[in-house]
Structure 1
Amino acid sequence: MTVHFPFQNSYSALPDSFFARVAPTPVAAPRLIKLNRPLAVQLGLDPDVLETREGAEILAGKTVPAGADPIAMAYAGHQFGQFVPQLGDGRAVLLGEVIDKDGIRRDIQLKGSGPTPFSRRGDGRAALGPVLREYIVSEAMFALGIPTTRSLAAVVTGEHVIRETALPGAVLTRVASSHIRVGTFQFFAVRRDTDAIRRLADHVVARHYPELSGAERPYHALLGGVVARQADLVARWLLVGFIHGVMNTDNSSISGETIDYGPCAFMDAYNPAQVFSSIDEMGRYAYANQPRIALWNLTRLAECLLPLFSDDQEKAVAEAQDILGAFSETFSDAYQAGLRKKIGLFTERDGDDALIQDLLDAMAKNQADFTLTFRRLGDAAGDPAADDARAQFMDPAAFDEWARRWHERTALEPQSAAERQAAMHAVNPIFIPRNHRIEAVIQAAVNDDNYAPFEELVKVLAKPLEDQPDYAAYADPPLPEQRVLQTFCGT
């Protein structure tokens, strides 16, 4: 059997300044540890063939499949607010693009496949732990309905990488609508290459925003489209307690997908100032800061597009500011609508925003678990005697006072208790990739070559909204001794 990828390579057809041609570095003894079979089928690939030795060698970068045109993409970026004029794919190679069964073009990229011209003295490799983390969290985000890159496969390489110590090496096969970032535009903007910016913008419109191709001002419309998608994306993050951890402009996708799962994490106890990333020492990318940072990143994109707006700098800036001004309202509308759904409100009334904020304030003060509070509130919607939401609060009386007002508010709507509960359970997950569970999976894999915990966690997270009695323990918050206080980038 031969592995066949029906590649179409539109990005590598762009000028050479957009990328470096580089093949993955072969590895010693690749072994497939996980193939995402449903995703393979969606991409038009044969999962049975991908699970062969030949498939593992391709997914590890040892063999380059026919039709691939491997490249490392060039980009720049603001990293924690500091601009770096050249970053690029330092440990990833884009093999090519395929058209999936829905007619959507998807990148297939090997992450951890060896050094590239953009590696900046790095080894270009990935350790097993970060590969498993990205596989788990990206697929969990997909199951939660949040736009995201996805994981097609994880392969161990049979080699070790050196970080603080020697660790098993691995390669992740990542699938994305594209890997074009805000930093991709910045790469050309800092070089004052307006022709390349226009070429890139035209490519993005054709690939991600084809409905804008006939717009009177397509580049203005492009900025507006990216603003809208990013505002909606960050609202979705906040609604499930997700913290990206490293929202640099080179990790901000033009397509509106979540990309680059490094020191990411889901909150346990609700805390707007929560930070997990070990490299975010100042809390720049804390949970509640994410909308502000998204707008900051979009402003950097707008700066890149100014030459396409108008030759009159003052006019171009004013037009960009007008487009960026829509972010706050778009985000707020999406976030507040999501919060109303989370507490079972079908209509809008005066006082709803205050009711929601009072709940969040009480949760923060009482260290209530973010995920379980909302999930158990859905239980209480169906059965007022259910008190599991109350049990999340250090001071249950704080919940009682709020719950009284909530019951009064829901009584003003015509939906039945069963309808309200079903609607709340449809938006409030019971299972999230909790940090302590991910760490346990990584330790079992790294220390014992045991992937059974990984397989089970991935299985549970594929159905985050469904009660799974056999796996009920996966919904539990960590015990004090299990708490993960920091997450790490892994590079």
Structure 2
Amino acid sequence: MNIENIIQPFIKKFPGDFSGNPMQRNTPKVLFSTIAPAGFDQPRLIAFNRKLSEEIGLGTFTETDLNFLVGNQLPENIKTYATAYAGHQFGNWAGQLGDGRAILAGEITGDSGERNEIQWKGAGATPYSRHADGRAVLRSSVREYLMSEAMFHLGIPTTRALSLAFTGEEVVRDMMYNGNPELEKGAVVIRTAESFLRFGHFELMSAQQEYKTLHELADFTIENYYKEITSEGEQKYKDFFEKVCRRTADLMVEWYRVGFVHGVMNTDNMSVLGLTIDYGPYSMMDEYDLNFTPNTTDLPGRRYAFGKQGQVSQWNLWQLANALHPLIKDEKFLEEILNDYGSYFWETHDRMLCRKFGFDQLLTSDEKFFTSWQGLMQDLQLDYTLFFNRLENYDESTELKKQFENASYTFLNDEDLTRLQEFIENYQHRLEKNIISREKSLELMARTNPKFILRNYLLYQCIEEINAGKTEMLEKLTRALEHPYQELYPEFSSKRPSGYDDISGCSTLSCSS
């Protein structure tokens, strides 16, 4: 790989701590600390994303590159570092945080000029590890590697995964925080993104009243990642904030489109580029439930439940607005942008739902239709993905129960089937209001509704197999997630088996790595 081409403009631009001390500590007035990866004696490659490597300009993989993939034997031109940021966690100010398990190598420019940061996750402790070891275990690493790539192929803005490797170590983790720690296999993921800048980077500088650095950070972000902004002075920062709001709203709508639940939408897990970042206790939606949260830490309040993600993203943007207030003194402007967020989000959301149903336009009557649909989904415990697949292939000549019973997590009685039939009739009447043909309508549905989603029980099976030294499931899932709008493997196009309902890692997860 062409790792010698990695450059480090971030640490050349901002104040940092060059002590290389991995011990946890506060690092006021700086945005990063240099730190070397821990290094691992017996690494073993599990997966390498060849297509991504070529796309971002790293080229092909050779056996000698394994050391780089786990942070060993780095080139002299690379000074590795972790960034500091702050954040609100579960609605509470948490103060200084930072990259506790992530270490940045720098960035590389691809053949077409795009820039990507390269980052290890699980390569050792940093000053921001908060008494943790900075390691990662196999299960969380597999989940990040596969899900970030699944989201990319679904067409959703996201960080991506370059490699997955065993470290050769065993790591102690209490997976469910219940006082039962166990030894697990350690692993490292390399992930990439145009930038890993978060809301929390801006919150930290603002909270510390480091306004000069805040100003420079905003300029750096605009100049590198929002090049379409050409305004000057305060208007430049206004345009920046407005665009961050739009990108965030668009991202939330995309999550709703495919049924993705992040699980831990703290402000430090929000990208200022509108990317899905930090794949921890996430889940794809099985049975439709607006109150579903996959994160055991989020119980019983369910702050980050599926149906609240739009609302929470707006709350997080309020915190970003507070952080940017030293640059944008116009409080009325900030309030207007944030108040308009809801209107933009819901209109974009409802237009997305129109595409899922194959409607070519949003009508005023659709609000009532969508509300009726949501009630039906929840009451009949219908699978979010399978419902739309069944709707796309609905056949009047086939018994209704036969078409939908395998898309429900409950027994469909006569009353349920009557209700479902009434909905189908209303849906068909709504389709008659389309201007486009039914053929075009079905094409719209096919482009919008995935045939394959990376369900937690499939990830669980894959992790179990890798632990047992097998990679067939990993390879099969990788092929499937690269073509989510096709049905490559019919066995993956089924609801979660009941045997996985109460298994940790399938229905619910913790924030533990």
TM-score, normalization: structure 2?
A: 0.90
Mapped contact 2:500–2:507 kept (Cα < 8 A): no
Q: Residue in 1 aligned with 2:55?
A: 42
| Equivalent in the alignment of 1:195 | 212
SS at match of 2:51: helix
**Matched residue, 2:106:** 96
Q: 2 CA distance for matches of 1:374 and 1:5?
A: 47
Q: Is 1:108 the equivalent of 2:107?
A: no
- Check if 1:257 corresponds to 2:275: yes
Q: Which amino acid aligns with 2:15?
A: P
Q: Which runs of 5+ in 1 are unaligned?
A: 311-315
Secondary structure of the 2:223 match is helix
The answer to whether structure 1 residue 212 and structure 2 residue 229 are counterparts is: yes
Contact 2:107 2:115 in 1 (8 A): yes
Paired residue type of 2:196: H
C-alpha separation in 1, matches of 2:33 and 2:435 = 60
Candidates 215, 224, 244, aligned match of 1:226: 244
Q: Distance in 2 between matches of 1:352 and 1:84?
A: 41
**RMSD across aligned positions (CA):** 1.5
2:151 equivalent to 1:141: yes
Counterpart pick for 1:185 among 179, 194, 202:
202
Amino acid at match of 2:251: L
Determine if the alignment matches structure 1 residue 481 to structure 2 residue 499: yes
2:392 to 368, 378, 391: 378
Q: Partners of 1:355 and 1:27 in 2: how far apart?
A: 56
Residue identity opposite 2:507 in structure 1: L
Residue 295 and residue 114 in structure 1: after superposition, are their counterparts in 2 closer, same or farther (change >3 A)?
same
For residues 401-440 of structure 1, the C-alpha deviation after alignment (integer angstroms, 9 at most, x for no partner) is 0111111121232433322222211110111011111111
Equivalent position SS for 1:107: strand
| Structure 1 position 5, deviation (Å) | 4.2
Q: What SS class does the counterpart of residue 308 from structure 1 fall into?
A: coil
Where in structure 2 are the equivalents of 1:391-430 lying within 5 Å? 391=405, 392-393=407-408, 394=412, 395-430=416-451
| Equivalent AA in structure 1 for residue 165 of structure 2 | V
The 2-side partners of 1:349 and 1:158 are apart by 58
Secondary structure, counterpart of 2:165 in structure 1:
strand
2:35 to 16, 19, 22: 22
Paired AA for residue 80 in structure 2: P
Q: C-alpha separation between the residues in 2 aligned to 1:177 and 1:389?
A: 43
Amino acid of the structure 2 residue aligned with 1:371:
T
1:369-393 CA distances to partner (integer Å, 9 max, x unpaired)? 000101211112xx44454654335
Structure 2 counterpart of 1:336:
350
Partner-residue secondary structure (3-state), 1:426: helix
CA distance in 2, matches of 1:156, 1:426: 36
Contact 1:5 1:45 in 2 (8 A): no
In the alignment, which residue of structure 1 is the partner of 2:186? 169
Distance in 1 (alpha carbons) for counterparts of 2:112 and 2:255: 25
1:126 maps to 2:136: yes
Match of 2:78 in 1: 68
Tell me, yes or no, if the aligned pair for 1:272 and 1:288 is still in contact at 8 Å.
yes
Q: Pick one of 456, 462, 479 that aligns with 1:435.
A: 456
Specify every segment of 5 or more residues in structure 2 that has no aligned partner in the other structure, as ranges: 17-29, 174-180
**Percent identical residues:** 34
Paired with 1:476 and 1:218, the residues of 2 have a C-alpha distance of: 49
Match of 1:460 in 2: 480
3-state SS in 1 of match to 2:96: coil
Question: Match for 2:425: what amino acid?
Answer: R
State how far apart, in whole Å, the 1-side matches of 2:76 and 2:486 are: 41
Whether the aligned pair in 1 keeps the contact of 2:360 and 2:435 (CA below 8 Å) is no
Map of 1:234-249 to 2, 5 A cutoff? 234-249=252-267
User: What's 2:20 paired with?
Assistant: none
Q: Counterpart of 1:158?
A: 168
Contact 1:154 1:171 in 2 (8 A): yes
The answer as to whether partners of 1:130 and 1:489 remain within 8 angstroms in 2 is no
Structure 1 CA distance for aligned equivalents of residues 403 and 280 of structure 2: 31
Q: 1:478, 1:342 → 2: CA distance?
A: 22
> 2:317 corresponds to which residue?
298
Q: CA deviation at 1:168?
A: 0.7
Whole-angstrom distance in 2 between the partners of 1:401 and 1:102 = 53
Alignment-derived partner of residue 313 in structure 1: none
What is the letter of the counterpart of residue 105 of structure 1? R
Q: Secondary structure of 2:104's partner?
A: strand
- Alpha-carbon separation, structure 1, partners of 2:232 and 2:358: 39
Partner of 2:67: 57
Deviation at 1:215, TM superposition (A): 4.5
- Paired residues of 2:245 and 2:317 also in contact (CA < 8 A): yes
TM-score, normalised relative to structure 1: 0.94
- Aligned length in residues: 477
Residue 308 (structure 1) aligned with residue 327 (structure 2): yes
